[in-house]
């Protein structure tokens, strides 16, 4: 399977704990995005990378959230001191930017439940 993969697929944690999610993009893609999605809503942008550089982070994103893409390949998203409001589906997408052409392809998501 050469698509975007995410791990774990599901995570249940207690409030106050830290969690880390991993995303492996399509291998030749140079951009990687993180989104959060709750029921009945579209994806909410969190942050994105161009290769290993984090180019933008949502102003709505709490300081408890941090993302890395150390070698320009896989990425991790960490949430510290989780809160019940962090419960959501966390989606990763990757794309290959070529001129003005860019289509994002999504991974299966990590569903987080904070108790």
Partner 1 sequence: GQNIDQPTEMTATEGAIVQINCTYQTSGFNGLFWYQQHAGEAPTFLSYNVLDGLEEKGRFSSFLSRSKGYSYLLLKELQMKDSASYLCAVRDSNYQLIWGAGTKLIIKP
Give yes or no for a contact between 110 and 11, defined as CB atoms under 8 angstroms apart: yes
Is 99 an interacting residue with respect to partner 1 (CB under 8 A)?
A: no
Binding residue (CB under 8 A) for partner 1 from 40, 59, 63, 99: 40
Distance in Å, CB of 35 to partner 1, minimum: 8
Which x/- pattern, by CB under 8 A, does the window 79-98 give for partner 1?
------------x-------
Which x/- pattern, by CB under 8 A, does the window 42-81 give for partner 1?
xxxx----------x-------------------------
Closer to partner 1 at the Cβ: 1 or 71? 1
What is the rounded distance in angstroms from the CA atom of residue 33 to the CA atom of residue 27? 14
CA distances from 99 to 25, 33, 90, 95 (A): 20, 18, 28, 12
Beta-bridge partners for 79: 19, 65
Cβ within 8 Å of residue 7, ≥6 positions away: 21, 22, 24, 110
Residues at the contact surface with partner 1, assessed by CB under 8 A: 40-45, 56, 91, 100, 102-109, 111
């Amino acid at each position: 399977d050469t698509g975007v993969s995410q791990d774990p697929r599901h995570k249940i944690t207690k409030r106050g704990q830290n969690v880390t999610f991993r995303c492996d993009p399509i291998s030749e893609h140079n951009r990687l995005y993180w989104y959060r999605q709750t029921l009945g809503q579209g994806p909410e942008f969190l942050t994105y990378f161009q290769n290993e550089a984090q180019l933008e982070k949502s102003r709505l994103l709490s300081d408890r959230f941090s993302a890395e893409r150390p070698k320009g390949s896989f990425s991790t998203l960490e949430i510290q001191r989780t809160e019940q409001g962090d419960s959501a589906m966390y989606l990763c997408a990757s794309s290959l930017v070529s001129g003005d052409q860019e289509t994002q392809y999504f991974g299966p998501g990590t569903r987080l439940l904070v108790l």
